Amino acid sequence: EIFVNLDASFEFAYGKHGQHKVTLQVGDAIAVPAGVTHSYKNVMDGHPSQPGRILTVFPGRASITWDDGVVARARKMGAKCSDTGILIPEGALGSEALAALAQMEQSPTAEIDATEEDGKAYVVRHDSGSELRLESDDGWLELSWLRLNRGRVAELDPRVETVAVVIYGSVCCGENLQALDAVKQPSFFSAAEDSLVLLIKSSLPHDMDFFFGELRRGQKRLREAPAGLAS
């Protein structure tokens, strides 16, 4: 499970008892391996009613194993959910709806007792100059950050499957995008003001679940652009 802070600071707790903590700022990312118990909370200064938004990237079908007692407490508060904590939408009684819910029912992953040092390795700061890359036998998933000063134009490789999310600023890619807007398969960005754009690139198929090897934090590097694109 990969998280990126969109507009607030979040504190992530991890370990069997949530005893280890790390705070991420806007634009930072954390990739939590399957089996690591974790939680997060908004720690942004400001009015308690001010929401903070966080982007979650599931490399495969969404499946969550809740901590002991979470499902029981949710039901007590009125949540309609399965025994594993999957929320059941109103009217989800047809065979197709039940089949869709069944796809999310998976065997729990063995718990990993992550150390404090393990957690530090999960984090990639948006201003570190590094990218977050996860690889498996089926392909790869990469998060990187594109910083654009006002007036700058950046061109992207159309052969690579890409989803882009504007963290802050204003850019154009054939349509005008503001903070928190997302676009699939952009070919270029032109910045109307200083901007930060999150790029999520992948070579993975869309109908499988993936377990990745060790997270790689490669230094950002200039790649050779295809014919017709500026490097």
- Compare 214 and 225 and report the one with higher pLDDT: 214
Question: Rounded to 5 degrees, what angle do the CA atoms 75, 81, 86 make?
Answer: 130
Q: How far apart are CA 28 and CA 10, in angstroms?
A: 10
Which residues touch 30 (CB under 8 Å, ≥6 apart)? 2, 3, 12, 22, 24, 122, 123, 124
pLDDT digits (tens, 9 = 90+) for 37-53: 899 999 987 666 778 99
Q: How far apart are CA 115 and CA 16, in angstroms?
A: 9
Mean pLDDT of 16-45: 91
- Compare 225 and 98 and report the one with higher pLDDT: 98
DSSP string, 87-151: B--TTTTSHHHHHHHHTT--PPPPP----HHHHHHHEE-TTSSEEEEEEETTEEEEEEEEEE-TT
pLDDT digits (tens, 9 = 90+) for 137-179: 878 899 999 999 999 999 999 899 999 999 999 999 999 999 9
**DSSP-assigned beta bridge partners for residue 140:** 135
Return the minimum-mean-pLDDT range out of 69-73, 85-89, 195-199, 225-229: 225-229
What confidence category does residue 67 fall into, taking pLDDT thresholds of 50, 70 and 90? confident
- Compare 221 and 90 and report the one with higher pLDDT: 90
The reported pTM is 0.77
What confidence category does residue 27 fall into, taking pLDDT thresholds of 50, 70 and 90? very high
User: For 103, what's the count of Cα atoms within 13 Å in the CB-facing half-sphere?
Assistant: 11
Contact 103, 146 (CB under 8 A): no
Check residue 64 and give its pLDDT: 74
